[in-house]
């Protein structure tokens, strides 16, 4: 990275604690201008102008970065809201499906109870019908024999 200014052969004494405080306060406030308490450490006016232009450029980039970051945050918030809405819809749909399943299970239980009741009755009815058929067939044969005997006599 290119240095903000070159001092050349000029030797300068810099108070790093004060500089650190200035940078930290500048970063927090977004103001990178030099404080008035540093006039003895300032570079020549031409270098100062270049430095101020660079600082202004950094401030513009910082503002652009803030705008882009806020735009991204809003986009993420909108996406989160959409996803949350879709999740709520999915949960509601799942609840409806669970309710329908419970209803189907209840109907299935009722069907099983009815079948449990009806199947033995059906078996009894089949057996009873079979006996009746056999009785009718036996009577029919008996009746036929009787008619054949009476015709034969």
Nearest Cα to Cα of residue 6 among 54, 58, 47, 35: 47
Q: pLDDT value at position 142?
A: 76
Phi, psi (degrees; rounded to nearest 5) at 41: -100, 0
Domain range annotation of the chain: 47-116
Q: Provide the percentage of residues in the chain whose pLDDT is more than 90.
A: 53
> Is pLDDT at 28 greater than 60 in this prediction?
no
**CA distance linking residue 85 with residue 33, whole number of Å:** 47
Could you identify the residue written with the tokens 């329908």?
100
Q: Provide the percentage of residues in the chain whose pLDDT is more than 70.
A: 71
- Give pLDDT tens digits for 54-73: 999 999 999 999 999 999 99
Coil, helix or strand at residue 16: helix
């Amino acid at each position: 990275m290119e240095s903000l200014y070159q001092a050349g052969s000029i030797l300068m004494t810099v108070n790093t604690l004060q500089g650190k405080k200035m940078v930290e306060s500048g970063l927090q406030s977004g103001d990178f201008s030099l404080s008035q308490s540093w006039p003895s450490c300032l570079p020549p006016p031409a270098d100062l102008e270049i430095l101020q232009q660079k600082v202004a450029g950094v401030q513009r980039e910082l503002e652009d970065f803030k705008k882009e970051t806020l735009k991204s945050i809003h986009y993420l918030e909108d996406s989160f809201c959409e996803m949350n809405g879709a999740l709520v819809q999915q949960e509601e749909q799942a609840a409806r499906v669970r309710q329908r399943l419970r209803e189907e299970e209840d109907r299935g239980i009722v069907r099983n109870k009815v079948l449990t009741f009806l199947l033995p009755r059906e078996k009894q009815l089949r057996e009873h019908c079979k006996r009746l058929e056999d009785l009718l067939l036996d009577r029919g044969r008996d009746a036929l024999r009787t008619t054949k005997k009476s015709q034969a006599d």
